[in-house]
Structure 1
């Protein structure tokens, strides 16, 4: 199990692989983001994207799944305080394969609860060509192994 004390600023990881299908793009969009360039191939051709593309929220959800299946499953995660700087950088298309890379950009012990550490992580979703399609800074909370120890 990875605790707050095991995480260092600058730590980086790359992992996961998720193949995005047209059927999945359509299904997600019809339920959660029914804009024409996500739900209708003909309309999408007339859009600035020129073709059907995944909802940004779908892309974020895929990356979150990769994150949970990756490092979070072996981490003493206590959830998150939010997300900063969410950016959709490139459209995700049917047939794309996504993976993620993460970098720890900040960490500190909670002032209000010494059992908890705050860890800010830059996440980038990357397509099969190495292009960043989405990025955000996750404001995670991780349990401290020894909450009685001196803070950093």
Structure 2
């Protein structure tokens, strides 16, 4: 594709739906991703999945996001002068994504503006939505997209006043439990401030490229020269790759601790599914050879009138690199079984 034929920031039209095509996931694809990144029973074992709340095999929510990202790349991003994204405001998982069922997606610009710090870059707030064959919304996200301008602005726009963003919580200076030491506990027993540290993960070149080829084939994740010319300056991991490693770290630790507890005859509460997450932020690129360690801390517990037998546990999760820089943050959410149903006063 030539520079002249690319879609630039000026070309983006708010409220215009762009069809991203259709995608069907096989059982093998769902299980392969689940085993690699989210090894919960409903994603890796067809029989065990029948006994879970989702009632059968379904894709990991992060697999769904990765597939939506691939559809967005094929449908529009690889025809855009895309410069990546600093994060995702919110992801909603509304319906399980099942094997051998057709899904289609669409991309829509909600609003756009010029970037106050750079004349050659614009920002757009976009949504990607995934629908099943019944036209039911299965999943959606709202994120920020950076796109190069065809013609740089002559002068920088005035900075718009914005609502102050909640500062990033410090979850690194205090003590933390070792990953794999805490099995799932009932909602009432989980404590706000409970912190877990997970083993570090090093992002190797081959793994970065393999994930990008499958789910996020933008040039700065695949090609050294293209990455050097991008805002990132060098080959870096897809943000969804970083997110996949985060969920693998947490789920693997839970499964390890749960297995040990069950071996000792302890009855564990049911967990899941997750309704989605908020405030996913990619603060810095994760480059080849970077080592990222994750921590999670329970920040809130929410009683649910709509599901009195469950409560919502909210975690602040961060990843930092070998320099001590926070490169990743997310507010995760999961449903947890209660000892006794919630009865509002």
Q: TM-score, normalised by structure 2?
A: 0.41
Q: Deviations over 1:78-130 (max 9, x none)?
A: 22111011111111111112221111111022212222111111110122222
Aligned to 1:39: 222
Which one has the largest radius of gyration?
A: 2
Is residue 16 of structure 1 aligned with residue 213 of structure 2? no
1:143 to 323, 327, 337: 337
Residue from 97, 106, 110 that aligns with 2:304: 110
**Superposition deviation, residue 46 in structure 1:** 0.9
RMSD: 2.0
Name the structure 1 match of 2:319: 125
Cα distance 1:77–1:148, how it changes in 2: closer, same or farther (>3 A)?
A: closer
Q: TM-score, normalized by length of structure 1? A: 0.90
Aligned length: 151
Task: Output one character per residue of 1:41-62: Cα deviation in whole Å (capped at 9) or x when no partner.
Answer: 1111111111100000111111
Residue 62, structure 1, aligned to residue 245, structure 2:
yes
Whose strand fraction is larger, Structure 1's or Structure 2's? Answer: 1
- Aligned partners of 1:72 and 1:106: how far apart in 2? 22
- Structure 1 unaligned residues grouped into runs of 5+: none
2:242 equivalent to 1:48: no
Q: Which residue is equivalent to 1:4?
A: 187
Residue 80 of structure 1 is aligned with which of 274, 292, 315? Answer: 274
- Residues 310, 341 of structure 2: 8 Å contact kept: no
**In 2: Cα distance, 1:97 partner to 1:111 partner:** 42
8 Å Cα contact 2:303-2:342 kept in structure 1:
no
Instruction: Specify which structure has the bigger relative contact order, considering alpha-carbon pairs within 8 angstroms and separated by 6 or more residues.
Output: 1
Q: Which runs of 5+ in 2 are unaligned?
A: 1-182, 259-268
